[in-house]
Structure 1
Amino acid sequence: MSVPVSQLAPSPSPSPSPSARPASARRRLAVAAGAALLVLGTGACSALGRSAVGTFSYSTAAERIVKISSPSVKGCHRTAPAGATTVLNNTLVDVRMYRTPDCSGKDPKYIPSRLSDNIAPNTLPWRSYTFVH
């Protein structure tokens, strides 16, 4: 028994051209492209605020704890007048601690992101800090 070729397998249909796509497919493509652009735009603009995401905290000689949420990475920041004796850098940015109130002087203490440090006994407290960005 012989069977005609047309009955064995259906002939492949030609793929539609991009302009012949249904409206729902074009809409999904446009939404995906828009979402991708939004993600890229948000990432590019996130540095504009320039804050150290997280919490920077320190304690003073009087055992007062100071917590700062998402501090600015710009400029020099002063500690409380008593100075800082212990620092917890729970931000995503590294910090430098200084013994002077104007972020100057020799040998600043470098404290990486997510780490802490304290002053050595009988030394001056830290009086200011800057973020490394």
Structure 2
Amino acid sequence: MSNSKQVMKYGSWGSWGDIVFKTMDSPTSVNDNRKWRVSAQSVINGYPQHQFTGEDERTASASITLHNEFADLTAMHNTLIAQSNTDNAQPFIIGHTVLGFFKCRSLDRTYDDTTPEGIVIATTYKLKLVEVRE
């Protein structure tokens, strides 16, 4: 009987819809961007007055590097494209926090590493997401 401990190889870090980020294929960076419109109105002989006119679109971006040792590159690519081509907004989750429901605005793909035969073994995706509110 062995007394060795089992080591957790994967742990959830977050997700965007069906794309689950794990410790071995998590985003290298995530950016959550919110802006509000505050318009300055000039006044005679004084500091401008400011009027709040609402929130602009909330955007988020994530850079995800995948390696074929930890993920099925074809399956992940197909899932990213399928999610990006749907009308359904997907939940964007970091840790235990749901940031909101987002659609993909753009997806950039970089081939990071290949075998000598040209088979892709590592890919980086840069997702630009926009929040959709009902």
TM-score range, shorter chain: under 0.3
TM-score by length of 1: 0.25
Greater strand proportion: 2
